[in-house]
């Protein structure tokens, strides 16, 4: 089946942009989450934003981004505070406290949706889980030359603009607070003794995670992009700065390749329909991570097995 | 409405509804029982990874049954076997990543959870494109739907739950040792690896049979919330398992009943919310570890500490801090002008003697003193035997002279 | 009699006209309502090398953490150079126990040392080349210049300890709090730490170390604080580090020959 350039620019390019732009902030923040042993906070928050979005809609009655975003952020803050409170009061491990909080809040979101809200707004739990990378269209560009026309850019889908803004903001904040993020991740006690409020940095990081989780499409893509690119990069380098760059590279690669495998490959091999892109992006992210875990030059399973064999004198 | 709800609860709303209610209650009890051990083994969120990792199995099971021409693919046993298979693969993946790479367990859980789920959604989107696939109803595995359970499905759920409950009872002692001290269990000659596998197999069974009802996204709640809530009430494993079972069963029972009553109320969500409500109550009012009890204990400690410090200041002829002075005044140990009353002086003397004796005790019997829960917090005469206190007083006089 | 008041220490501080580097009054800390430190008073002499000594679980690390505000205090007051500790962070250098961080963290030795400069740099200011050069110079002081670019996980335990020490030096503090810097280190590291302690003393800085090895106390330190839940004794090593005080602190848990050897130095 032939894919025309105009189709590509209208359907596929915006979807690829959504997939990659959503992944970039997740990968950057995920790098810190993985190092802080908080990888599952991303998981928890990506579920928790659902009741927040629904509540934001119910209170404001509109599907504008702002009230829903406010709801999502409020829900995230509540969730994090609850997790911390339960962990301390119940003297529980973080995982258990998280398991309680995010499931209950997600369940609340699901019930609220099913009880009528869902019929009035184009929102459902599956959408929140999968997201729909494919549903973004860019009406306008017909060929490469038309991309030079400013009017075409004015027609850029709103969601892409917002995703790009969030990605840029995340990059800027990580650069600006690189030093603080690094020291509070590595040695929070030292940070406190130096007068750097570790709790403020944590709160800022969690808020950014919540924003990224809200803006990106579908919790599965979010969780995968929080963890897989960061974990892949973690296998490959011992430098934080390099790890951040690599994680972004893998997020972008996953976004593009995932979309290609979901949208084009099935058609090339003769199937009638394409597959879901968000799931495929997560799967590609997982494949990258698997390859890194196996074949990373220094820390990969293969390299370590070989070097261990080398140590034993023949 | 209320009468109808009651008729559902009392199993008088028809055979089907009653069977569903009993099945889901058993599911709640079974999940809570195995969840208790999983929680104590510090693996709470592995259940989440397992839940999500079942989705590709559901897809593959459907495709297998579809290819074999069984029920158009919707053959529950085959779907559940598929779910169990990839769920098991998920557990193994988490363990492999944790043991063989530098990545920590939480990253391993997150990886398995998202990647397996991603693969599952890809398979589902493929199935949707098959003829008849759109009506496969596999989406019910995501969020669950007990109203649409068929009797055959409920029998599978009920039987599976009973197996989980029975095995948890049978191996209670062994699981207890394993959770508490794995090395001790190994040293005692218990087959630790096999027991661990059995525990994970039961976890897998509970997750698989729970999929259709609660859905794979929320199944972790049924495993984690009841035991966590039970933890607030007791420090004893038997009691904890029992309470968790009651909470789990109650959540399943009330949740399934509510969703039978109200159309469009997703059973999974309601079951989890019920469990959440039980948790919230436990968190706040449980006398053992609840918030209120804890706050009262903490407040009492702070208050007592401030009073003690204030009285020590009086005994030393120093000025108590404003907070301490306020407390002493409330107790009538200081008068309006901030001067110690006769009772205050007496109390200060008593506190000074008490502290001196406690310090003497710490000095002469350090191990016993460190082990003493009430050291320096309770008048010494109330804790230690009279002859020991007299001996301490004698030593104190000797040291003083 | 109950609250040992130290007229001599106070008099010294008053005569010098400066507030003591560290003045702790009536410090009480509890975990889950179980006392860990009980009414501890302590004044550190300026320029002293002070060892905190006591049996396991005596609250030595907690003392340092409570001073830094890393664990909440039930009561008591901590003054650093006469001011509340919260306003004096820049004046304090902290060397935590080695186990307190993840040594697999993706960072190099020189990076870790540069973290000591973060407090001085302030929010959002990036680390520049000259900061890294300064960090390298501190690594050189502890004999670690050759390992500056190593990932920290590939250093030996003693080398990791020296990195922590260099980081504290980079902080250029007036008061140093070190949590068992000598624990499990090799001979070269031990010498490096001693050299640094002497150097800090020459520069008039005050150093407080949690210390485990009783034998080396008289050699490495000039003051001692004996702790066991409450303060047993404090003062110059010659006066406070006596057999009687050690017996009180360790409550007979110490074998006599070891005690005698310790006191005789």
A220–B contact, CB cutoff 8 A: yes
Q: Which tokens hold the place of A292?
A: 């890194």
The confidence band for C26, taking pLDDT boundaries of 50, 70 and 90, is confident
CATH of the domain at B76: 1.10.3470.10
A196–C contact, CB cutoff 8 A: yes
Contact (CB<8Å) A179/C107: no
pLDDT of residue A274: 82
pLDDT of residue B260: 82
pLDDT of residue B135: 63
Contact (CB<8Å) A35/C89: no
C253–A contact, CB cutoff 8 A: no
The confidence band for A2, taking pLDDT boundaries of 50, 70 and 90, is low
Please name which of B360, B395, B401, B400 lies closest in space to residue B380, comparing C-alpha atoms: B360
Chain segment A65-89, per-residue pLDDT in tens: 788 888 889 999 999 999 988 888 8
Dist CA B66 CA B70 (whole Å) = 6
Q: Which of B283, B313, B340 is the endpoint of a domain?
A: B283
Give yes or no: residues B114 and B193 share one domain. Answer: yes
CA dist B132 to A275, B66, B74, C100, Å? 17, 10, 11, 58
Contact (CB<8Å) C35/B312: no
Q: Give domain status of residue B12, yes or no.
A: no
Chain C, 76 to 135: residues with Cβ < 8 Å from chain A are 89-90, 92, 94, 96, 100-102, 105-108, 111-112, 115-116, 118-119, 121, 123-127
Give yes or no: residues B266 and B302 share one domain. Answer: no
Give yes or no: residues B35 and B179 share one domain. Answer: yes
Give yes or no: residues B278 and B338 share one domain. Answer: no
pLDDT of residue B153: 84
Domain that holds residue B298: 292-400
Give yes or no: residues B83 and B191 share one domain. Answer: yes
Collect all residues of chain B within an 8 Å Cβ-Cβ radius of residue C227: none
Give yes or no: residues B245 and B298 share one domain. Answer: no
pLDDT exceeds cutoff 50 at A209 = yes
The confidence band for C15, taking pLDDT boundaries of 50, 70 and 90, is very low
B356–C contact, CB cutoff 8 A: yes
Contact (CB<8Å) A282/B114: yes
Q: What own/partner pairs with CB < 8 Å and gap ≥ 24 does A259-268 have?
A: A259/A12, A259/A15, A259/A16, A259/A19, A259/A133, A262/A134, A262/B122, A263/A12, A263/A15, A263/A134, A264/A3, A264/A12, A267/A1, A267/A3, A268/A1
Contact (CB<8Å) A99/B119: no
Which has the higher per-residue pLDDT, B33 or C246?
B33
Contact (CB<8Å) B102/A228: no
Q: Give domain status of residue B337, yes or no.
A: yes
Q: Give domain status of residue B84, yes or no.
A: yes
pLDDT of residue A211: 83
* Contact residues, chain C to chain B, C-beta under 8 Å: 1-3, 26, 28, 30, 33-35, 38-39, 55, 57, 74-75, 104, 228-230, 248, 250-253
pLDDT of residue C210: 95
Contact (CB<8Å) A103/B276: yes
The confidence band for C42, taking pLDDT boundaries of 50, 70 and 90, is very high
Number of domains in chain B: 2
* Residues A208-237, mean pLDDT to the nearest whole number: 87
pLDDT of residue C5: 42
Q: Give domain status of residue B10, yes or no.
A: no
Q: Which of B283, B303, B324 is the endpoint of a domain?
A: B283
Give yes or no: residues B392 and B257 share one domain. Answer: no
Give yes or no: residues B79 and B141 share one domain. Answer: yes
Contact (CB<8Å) C94/A193: yes
What was the ipTM of the complex prediction? 0.90
Dist CA A84 CA A94 (whole Å) = 8
Collect all residues of chain A within an 8 Å Cβ-Cβ radius of residue C116: 194
Q: Which tokens hold the place of A110?
A: 């699901």
- CB atoms under 10 Å from CB of B107, counted, come to 29
pLDDT of residue A212: 81
* Residues C74-79, mean pLDDT to the nearest whole number: 87
Q: Which of B225, B249, B283 is the endpoint of a domain?
A: B283
pLDDT exceeds cutoff 50 at C17 = no
Q: Give domain status of residue B253, yes or no.
A: yes
B51–A contact, CB cutoff 8 A: no
Collect all residues of chain C within an 8 Å Cβ-Cβ radius of residue B357: none
Element (H, E) at C228: strand C223-228
Q: To the nearest whole percent, how much of chain C has pLDDT over 70? A: 88
Give yes or no: residues B213 and B304 share one domain. Answer: no
Chain segment A87-121, per-residue pLDDT in tens: 888 788 888 999 999 999 999 988 888 776 655 55
**Mean pLDDT computed over every residue of chain A:** 85
For C117, nearest residue in chain A (alpha carbons): A194
pLDDT of residue C4: 40
The confidence band for A128, taking pLDDT boundaries of 50, 70 and 90, is low
**Domains of chain A as residue ranges with CATH:** 5-308 (1.10.3470.10)
Give the rounded distance of the alpha carbon of B382 from its chain centre.
Answer: 36
For A195, nearest residue in chain C (alpha carbons): C89
pLDDT of residue C245: 87
- CB atoms under 10 Å from CB of B401, counted, come to 5
Contact (CB<8Å) B264/A100: no
- CB atoms under 10 Å from CB of A144, counted, come to 10
Chain segment B268-307, per-residue pLDDT in tens: 888 999 999 999 999 999 987 888 988 898 898 888 888 9
Chain segment C95-117, per-residue pLDDT in tens: 998 888 889 899 999 999 999 88
Low-confidence ranges of chain B (pLDDT < 50): none
Closest CB from A126, A226, A275 relative to B139: A126
Give yes or no: residues B237 and B372 share one domain. Answer: no
Q: Give domain status of residue B7, yes or no.
A: no
Dist CA B145 CA B215 (whole Å) = 8
Q: How many helices (H) and strands (E) does chain A have?
A: 17, 0
Contact (CB<8Å) A240/C121: no
Q: How far apart are the first and last CA of chain A?
A: 58
pLDDT exceeds cutoff 70 at A216 = no
Give yes or no: residues B91 and B172 share one domain. Answer: yes
Interface test with C, best of A172, A194, A199 (most C CBs within 10 A): A194
pLDDT of residue C114: 92
B368–C contact, CB cutoff 8 A: no
Chain segment A262-300, per-residue pLDDT in tens: 988 888 887 777 888 889 999 999 999 999 999 999 899
């Amino acid at each position: 089946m032939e894919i025309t350039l105009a189709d590509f620019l209208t359907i596929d390019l915006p979807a690829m942009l959504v997939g990659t732009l959503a992944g970039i902030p997740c990968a950057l923040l995920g790098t810190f989450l993985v190092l802080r042993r908080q990888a599952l906070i991303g998981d928890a928050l990506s579920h928790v934003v659902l009741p927040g979005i629904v509540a934001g809609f119910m209170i404001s009655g509109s599907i504008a981004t702002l009230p829903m975003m406010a709801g999502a952020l409020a829900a995230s803050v509540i969730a994090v505070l609850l997790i911390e409170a339960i962990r301390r009061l119940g003297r529980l491990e973080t995982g258990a406290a998280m398991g309680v909080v995010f499931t209950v809040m997600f369940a609340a979101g699901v019930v609220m949706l099913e009880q009528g809200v869902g019929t009035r707004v184009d929102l459902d739990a599956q959408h929140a889980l999968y997201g729909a990378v494919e549903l973004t269209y860019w009406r306008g560009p017909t060929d490469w030359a038309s991309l030079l026309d400013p009017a075409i850019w004015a027609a850029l889908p709103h969601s892409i603009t917002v995703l790009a803004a969030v990605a840029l903001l995340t990059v800027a904040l990580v650069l600006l607070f690189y030093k603080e993020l690094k020291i509070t991740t590595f040695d929070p006690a030292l940070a406190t003794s130096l007068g750097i409020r570790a709790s403020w940095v944590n709160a800022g990081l969690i808020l950014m995670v919540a924003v990224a989780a809200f803006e990106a499409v579908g919790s599965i893509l979010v969780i995968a992009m929080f963890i897989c690119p960061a974990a892949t990069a973690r296998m490959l380098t011992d430098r934080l700065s390099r790890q951040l760059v690599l994680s972004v590279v893998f997020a972008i690669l996953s976004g593009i390749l995932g979309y290609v495998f979901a949208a084009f490959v099935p058609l090339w091999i003769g199937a009638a329909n394409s597959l879901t892109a968000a799931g495929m992006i997560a799967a590609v992210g997982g494949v990258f991570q698997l390859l890194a875990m196996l074949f990373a030059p220094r820390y990969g399973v293969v390299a370590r097995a070989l070097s261990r064999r080398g140590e034993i004198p023949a | 409405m209320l009468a109808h709800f009651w008729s559902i609860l009392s199993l008088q709303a028809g055979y089907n509804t009653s069977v569903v209610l009993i099945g889901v209650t058993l599911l709640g009890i079974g999940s809570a029982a195995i969840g208790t051990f999983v929680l104590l083994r510090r693996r709470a969120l592995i259940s989440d990874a397992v839940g999500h990792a079942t989705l590709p199995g559901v897809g593959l099971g459907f495709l297998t049954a579809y290819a074999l021409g069984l029920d158009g693919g919707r053959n529950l046993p085959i779907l559940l076997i598929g779910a169990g298979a990839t769920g098991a693969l998920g557990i193994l993946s988490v363990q492999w990543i944790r043991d063989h790479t530098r990545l920590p367990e939480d990253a391993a859980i997150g990886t398995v959870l998202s990647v397996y789920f991603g693969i599952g959604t890809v398979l589902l989107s493929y199935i949707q494109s098959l003829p008849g696939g759109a009506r496969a109803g596999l989406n019910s595995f995501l969020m669950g739907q007990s109203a649409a359970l068929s009797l055959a499905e409920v029998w599978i759920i009920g039987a599976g739950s009973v197996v989980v409950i029975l095995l948890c009872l049978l191996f209670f002692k062994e699981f207890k040792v394993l959770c508490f001290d794995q090395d001790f269990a190994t040293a005692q000659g218990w087959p630790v690896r096999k027991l661990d596998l059995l525990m994970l197999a039961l976890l897998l069974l509970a997750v698989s049979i729970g999929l259709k009802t609660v859905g794979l996204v929320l199944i972790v709640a049924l495993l984690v919330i009841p035991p966590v809530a039970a933890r607030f009430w007791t420090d004893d494993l038997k009691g904890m398992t029992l309470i968790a079972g009651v909470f789990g069963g109650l959540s399943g029972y009330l949740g399934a009943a509510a969703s039978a009553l109200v159309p469009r109320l997703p059973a999974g969500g309601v079951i989890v919310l019920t469990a959440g409500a039980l948790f919230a109550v436990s968190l706040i009012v449980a006398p053992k570890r609840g918030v209120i009890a804890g706050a009262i204990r903490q407040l009492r400690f702070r208050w007592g500490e401030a009073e003690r410090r204030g009285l020590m200041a009086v005994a030393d002829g120093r000025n108590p801090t404003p907070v301490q002075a306020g407390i002493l005044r409330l107790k009538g140990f200081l008068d309006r002008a901030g001067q110690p009353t006769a009772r205050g002086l007496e109390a200060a003397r008593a506190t000074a003697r008490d502290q001196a004796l406690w310090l003497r005790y710490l000095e002469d019997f350090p191990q016993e003193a460190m082990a003493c829960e009430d050291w320096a917090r309770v008048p010494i005469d109330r804790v230690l035997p009279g002859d020991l206190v007299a001996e301490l007083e004698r030593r104190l006089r000797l040291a003083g002279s | 009699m109950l609250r040992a008041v130290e007229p001599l220490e106070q008099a010294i501080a008053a005569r010098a006209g400066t507030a003591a580097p560290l003045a702790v009054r009536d410090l009480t800390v509890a975990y889950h309502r179980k006392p860990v430190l009980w009414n501890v008073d302590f004044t550190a002499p300026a320029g002293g090398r002070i060892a905190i000594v006591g049996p396991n679980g005596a609250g030595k690390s907690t003392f340092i953490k409570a001073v830094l505000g890393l664990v909440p205090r039930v009561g008591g007051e901590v003054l650093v150079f006469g001011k509340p500790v919260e306003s004096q962070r820049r004046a304090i250098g902290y060397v935590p126990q080695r186990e307190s961080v993840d040594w697999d963290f993706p960072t190099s030795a020189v990076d870790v040392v540069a973290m000591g400069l973060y407090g001085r740099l302030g929010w959002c200011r990036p680390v520049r080349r000259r900061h890294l050069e300064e960090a390298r110079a501190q690594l050189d002081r502890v004999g670690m210049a050759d390992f500056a670019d190593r990932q920290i996980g590939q250093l030996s335990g003693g080398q990791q300890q020296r990195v922590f020490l260099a980081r504290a030096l980079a902080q250029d503090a007036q008061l140093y709090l070190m949590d068992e810097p000598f624990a499990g280190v090799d001979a070269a590291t031990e010498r490096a730490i001693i050299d640094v302690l002497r150097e800090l003393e020459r520069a008039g800085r005050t150093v407080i170390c949690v210390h485990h090895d009783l034998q080396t106390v008289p050699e490495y330190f000039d003051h001692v604080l004996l702790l066991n839940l409450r303060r047993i004794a404090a003062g110059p090593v010659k006066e406070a580090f006596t057999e009687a005080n050690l017996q009180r602190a360790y409550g007979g848990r110490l074998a006599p020959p070891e005690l005698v050897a310790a006191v005789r130095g």
